[in-house]
Amino acid sequence: MKGKVVKHDGGGLQRRHLLFGGAAAGLGAVAAVGLQVVNGAEKAAVQPAAQVQHGSGKVPFYGARQAGIGTAPQAHGVFVALDLHPATTRERVRSLLKLLSDDAARLTQGKAALADTEAELAVHPARLTVTFGFGPRLVHIVAPQQAPGWLKPLPDFSIDKLVPEFSGGDLLLQICSDDPVTVAHAQRMLLKDCRSFAAVKWVQSGFRRAHGTEASGTTMRNLFGQVDGTSNAVPGGEPYEKVVWGDGAIPSWTENGTSLVIRRIRMDLDTWDELDRSGREESVGRKLGNGAPLTGVQEHDEPDFKALNPHGFPVIADFSHMRRSRPDDESQRIFRRAYNYDAAPSGGSVSESGLIFASYQADVDKQFVPIQQRLDELDLLNTWTMPIGSAVFAIPPGCQPGGFVGDGLFTGS
Amino acid sequence: MSKKFIYPLLPVLVATSLALSACGTAETQGTPSSVSQDASASHGASALVVGEPWVKASKDGMTGAFGILSNTTDHDITVVGATSPAAATVELHETVPGSDGTLQMRAKDGGFVIPAKGEFVLEPGASHIMLMGLKSPLAAGDDITFELHTSDGGRLSFTAPAKDFSGANENYEGSHGTDDGHGAMDPSGEASHPASPTQSK
């Protein structure tokens, strides 16, 4: 053994001599240039001047409406549902909402929350928003007379395979930011302040393209590769106002309030793989390349459902997702703010992926349910998708400094 | 003095902060009512502002209150005492290394001196307002009122929310073991959560 070690050492020395000797003899010039290039690259990497940093982006917390709805979707989102402890009183709910609103007001502006033990993680909000949703039980505790009729579990759909781990909840926190560390810290801080009042029921973490990867406003792609959400109304426009915040025909449950349906849609990527490109496009009725309808060229071209192919069949099939989800009744519109999820696979599968389908609308029963019923009856996409979670929340208005989200429900008594 | 966390002061806190009275009356136990606002020029119209106040929720025994004391005047202000209807006794504490190397808290001789135009940070593991003999559990979300007393007889009332907090478990100087630290609410489970809803405010 000893001899071997000595031999190895000797070999190493010889090799070293060879390498450096060679460099000195003929490769010296090349090596020197290479060294300079490396140094130059390192210098460039540490030069912050060219970097655009987005961490300081702030979305106002206080306002007539809650942030995180009309806000351009951030890259990362987590949805947390909590169940209030048994026998929680109205006054305890008030205390909880005050604490959480104060936390959110600070964190969204890049400030540490009170009693924040990781204050350094609060300094880059990166457009952090915290949006509060109230489940049936919370509204029943606080203001039963104001509970909207639609604030209840959705009707049963035949395609549903719901699990309690992703369904229901008394209080929802939608936490979104372009920075996942910021999301994690806000989630931790908010949940620390929930501990005395409520228990976590479920958590769903989602993502879109990283901030800056695509131009802002680009329609997201889901993990099937589809352009997903082309027909979404644009915040600020009249259709958006009507769909999300209501109008005379379909009023919202309270001024500047709305509703949120969260459906966890499992997407079976393994069977989706069996489908060729034309089959994938036919299932939705849109082209994979840019999301254009099969009858159009550009993403936002209006689909022509009457167009026929040379064989006399509709170009956009009657069973396609777009055809089935597109209502003839213009009032049946929803505003989507979805996130992809990609969880750990199990049972021999290599993926457990899908969509956290977050849908805002003034009235769940009048807008969301009819669409879902049509998709339940017929939608080719159902072959590869399965709803496994479902929850409905009333979204209260925003609040003003000194107030808290939901304070309007406490007035009058 | 630690100045790690300096925040803009909340308007609501400024509003509830009172100019220190130069002619404060003798201490009165009980509700820290609004202070007479005799901001006498002879005492420099002293003004102390409490920012970011909070209290560690606790089921009984002792707990701590934290925040940032800001002195808006051009002369030092010394806080010499405090009261709260939530506790039988309120003391001003500092935390110092004990003879065994662990942090120990003890009453701060001479009170807290807030330098002119400066700040004095009250935080876990450092100086804080100590509540002893809690009269009832402080549940998360409860609002606790305090009154600070300054060496020139001034009074300052402020309100702080109680928050669940796992830290701030400093030992008392001269005591042994950990049971003498600030009483935690243990928010992790209902079974160990004694606060009934009726105790909320």
Query: Over 50: is that where the pLDDT of B151 sits?
Result: yes
Domain count, chain B: 1
Q: Does residue B197 have a pLDDT over 50?
A: no
The residues spanned by each domain of chain A are: 2-50, 76-410
CATH code of the domain containing B116: 2.60.40.1890
In a domain, B169, yes or no: no
Structure confidence at residue A299 (pLDDT): 95
Using the Cα atoms of residue A178, residue A119, residue B146 and residue B176 in order, give the sign of their dihedral: positive
Does residue B53 sit within a domain?
yes
Residue B193 covered by a domain: no
Mean pLDDT of B158-164: 97
**Residue B40 included in any domain:** yes
Instruction: Report chain B residues whose CB lies below 8 A from the CB of A88.
Output: 197
Q: Which distant-in-sequence residues (6+ apart) come within 8 Å of B33 by Cβ?
A: B157
- For residue B156, being part of any structural domain is answered with yes
pLDDT value of position A29: 43
Q: What is the pLDDT of residue B11?
A: 34
What are the pLDDT digits (tens) for B4-54? Answer: 333 333 333 333 333 343 333 333 333 333 333 333 333 433 489 999 999
Q: What is the pLDDT of residues B97-147, one digit of tens each?
A: 888 888 788 888 889 999 999 999 999 999 999 999 999 999 999 999 999
* Interval A101-111: pLDDT, tens: 999 999 999 99
Is the pLDDT at A263 greater than 70, yes or no? yes
Cβ neighbors of A110 (< 8 A, separation 6 or more) are: A56, A58, A122, A123, A124, A125
Flag whether B188 is in a domain.
no
- Which residues of chain A from 189 to 218 reach within 8 Å of chain B, CB to CB? 192-193, 195-197
Question: ipTM exceeding 0.95?
Answer: no
Separation in Å, CA of B19 to nearest CA in chain A: 21
User: pLDDT per residue over A28-73, tens digit each?
Assistant: 444 444 444 444 445 555 555 667 889 999 999 999 999 999 999 9
Q: Minimal Cα distance from B65: which residue of A?
A: A115
Query: Which residues between 111 and 170 in chain B have a beta carbon less than 8 angstroms from any beta carbon of chain A?
Result: 139-142, 161, 163-165, 167
Specify if B86 maps to a domain.
Answer: yes
Kindly calculate the radius of gyration of chain B based on its CA atoms and give it in whole angstroms.
Answer: 17
> What is the pLDDT, as a whole number, of residue B148?
96
Q: What is the arithmetic mean of pLDDT over B79-99?
A: 93
pLDDT (average), residues B156-170: 92
Residue of A nearest to B141 (CA): A95
Q: Yes or no: say if B50 and B147 are a contact pair by the CB < 8 Å rule.
A: no
Q: Do B140 and A119 touch (CB under 8 A)?
A: no
Domain ranges, residue B113:
11-164
Mean pLDDT of chain B: 72
Q: What is the mean pLDDT of residues A154-158?
A: 97
Closest CA to A134 of A78, A82, A190: A82
In a domain, B178, yes or no: no
Nearest to B7 among A87, A98, A111 (CB): A111
> Which residues 6+ apart lie within 8 Å of A396 measured at CB?
A66, A132, A134, A254, A257, A405, A406, A408, A409
Q: What is the pLDDT of residues A3-36, one digit of tens each?
A: 334 344 434 444 444 444 344 444 444 444 444 4
**Integer Cα distance of A396 and A151 in angstroms:** 12
Q: What is the pLDDT of residue B114?
A: 96
**For range B63-92, the mean pLDDT:** 96
Return the pLDDT at A122: 97
CB contact under 8 A, B5 and A89: no
Q: Is residue A119 over pLDDT 90?
A: yes
Do the Cβ atoms of A114 and B167 come within 8 Å?
no
pLDDT band, residue A76 (cuts 50/70/90): very high
What are the structure tokens assigned to A325, written together?
A: 């989800």
